[in-house]
């Protein structure tokens, strides 16, 4: 259950013919009048047409009545035809729902450079409006319709008193966000001001999706939307809303990591001792971006030297004499040099399953947690195939 658990929302998912196998490929979330929205988007300079349009719609005002997402085609690098297709998506949804086009947010995901079959998409939007409903089935169908290389839908719900936050997300590759990640639609029935909604979303994304780095590749389409219907009648402050939205986003982040393309294990990298949290995050991402480091994760090799090498190539200021590394709680390096440990026992301990890596880079108070995965032969085969 996800986006329709908060009061004031319905959802649907349909097959409109973008995906050749007839799989679900269009999702729609509809909100009651009075709903407001906020979003964060990719900082990729090749941002897709739907990102550009949705930015403009939110800049015009927070009123939001619908989010429409197609999968199977990113509608990125498609020129003016792609921009027109995104506008037509919004206009079709607006006519069907009964609102202005500026109150519709759009998103697309799939192959870059492929023209969007807009006639199929607009027909799908009309069909989806007719099928919109609330409940577990509607949530699951909508969450499935936004998937591309995902193997399972990602959903989450949290409640606190009279306020509920729900969300769905997709993403299994091209995951190294800056301001957002993959695609996610979040909903809440809280009564909240637009400024508070935007601040809560930015805080939540920074503490969750920003900490996920699967393959070092930022997408052209990354978008996270948060809609607030106010249907609960419960007014909520920024801190309380941030906590709820963050919890949902963290749940979704872990689901995304667990379903990453070709991955066999999720690796949690915790960096401590940095000058500040921002420096710790840079250090953690440098480690996660290293193909050598992630290959050693696949082999279950506690190769701390590769971690030191990745740190040294980053922009983070540190002294090698302050570096320490531990795998699943076993210290393998301290003071910048190897620490005595039972290598055979550690190998057996980390040979299978998820992995925790703790890295200390100084005596500061900055910390960060980065989620990544191992680099497997399956990932290379999958992404080496023609798309």
Domains parsed from the chain with CATH numbers: 9-258 (3.60.70.12), 266-384 (3.10.20.340)
Please give the pLDDT value at position 176: 55
Is residue 145 over pLDDT 50?
yes
pTM (2 d.p.)? 0.87
CB distance 191 to 233 below 8 Å: yes
Asked whether the predicted pLDDT for residue 352 surpasses 90, the reply is no
Given the residues 4, 78, 164, 181, select the one marked as catalytic. 181
Structure tokens at 227: 């809609």
- Cα–Cα dist 296/260, whole Å: 17
Q: State pLDDT tens for residues 277-289.
A: 999 999 999 999 8
Instruction: Give residue for tokens 């299994």.
Output: 172
- Say whether 181 is catalytic: yes
Q: What is the pLDDT of residue 328?
A: 95
Place of tokens 């809280």: 190
Highest mean pLDDT out of 95-109, 172-186, 209-223, 246-260? 95-109
Q: What is the pLDDT of residue 215?
A: 60
Average pLDDT, stretch 159-164? 96
Choice between 290 and 377, residue whose per-residue pLDDT is larger: 290
Angle of CA points 38, 41, 47, to nearest 5° = 140
Average pLDDT over residues 134-140: 98
pLDDT for residue 179: 45
Cβ neighbourhood burial of 305 (10 Å; 0-12, 13-18, 19+): middle
301-349 per-position pLDDT tens digit: 999 999 999 999 999 999 999 999 999 999 999 999 999 999 999 999 8
d(CA 207, CA 367): 12
């Amino acid at each position: 259950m996800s986006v329709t658990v908060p009061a004031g929302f319905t959802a649907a998912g349909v097959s409109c013919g973008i995906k050749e196998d007839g799989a679900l490929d269009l999702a729609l979330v509809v909100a009651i009048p009075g709903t407001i929205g906020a979003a964060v988007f990719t900082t990729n300079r090749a941002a897709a047409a739907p990102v550009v349009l949705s930015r403009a719609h939110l800049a015009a005002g927070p009123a939001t009545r619908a989010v429409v997402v197609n999968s199977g085609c990113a509608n990125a690098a498609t020129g003016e035809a792609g921009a027109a297709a995104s506008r037509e998506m919004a206009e079709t949804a607006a006519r069907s729902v009964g609102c202005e086009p500026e109150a519709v947010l759009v998103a697309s995901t799939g192959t870059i450079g492929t023209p969007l079959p807009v006639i199929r998409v607009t027909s799908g939007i009309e069909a989806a409006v007719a099928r919109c409903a609330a409940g577990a089935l509607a949530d699951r169908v909508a969450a499935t319709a936004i998937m591309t290389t995902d193997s399972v839908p990602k959903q989450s719900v949290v409640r606190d008193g009279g306020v509920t936050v729900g969300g769905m997300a997709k993403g299994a590759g091209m995951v190294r966000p800056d301001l957002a990640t993959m695609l996610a639609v979040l909903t809440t029935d809280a009564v909240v001001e637009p400024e508070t909604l935007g601040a809560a979303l930015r805080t939540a994304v920074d503490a969750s999706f920003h900490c996920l780095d699967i393959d070092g590749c930022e997408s052209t389409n990354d978008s996270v939307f948060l809609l607030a219907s106010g249907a609960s009648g419960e007014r909520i402050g920024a801190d309380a809303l941030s906590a709820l939205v963050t919890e949902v986003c963290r749940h979704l982040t872990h689901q995304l990591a667990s379903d990453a393309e070709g991955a066999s294990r999720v690796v949690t990298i915790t960096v401590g001792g940095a000058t500040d949290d921002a420096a710790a995050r840079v250090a953690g991402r440098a480690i996660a971006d290293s193909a050598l480091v992630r290959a050693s994760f696949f082999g279950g090799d506690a190769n701390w030297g590769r971690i030191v090498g990745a740190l040294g190539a980053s922009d983070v200021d540190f002294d090698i004499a302050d570096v320490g590394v531990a795998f699943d709680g076993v210290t393998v390096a301290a003071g910048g040099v190897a620490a005595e440990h039972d290598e055979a026992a550690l190998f057996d301990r980390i040979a299978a399953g998820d992995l925790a890596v703790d890295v200390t880079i100084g005596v500061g108070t900055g910390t960060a947690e980065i989620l990544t995965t191992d680099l497997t032969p399956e990932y290379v085969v999958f992404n080496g195939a023609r798309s």
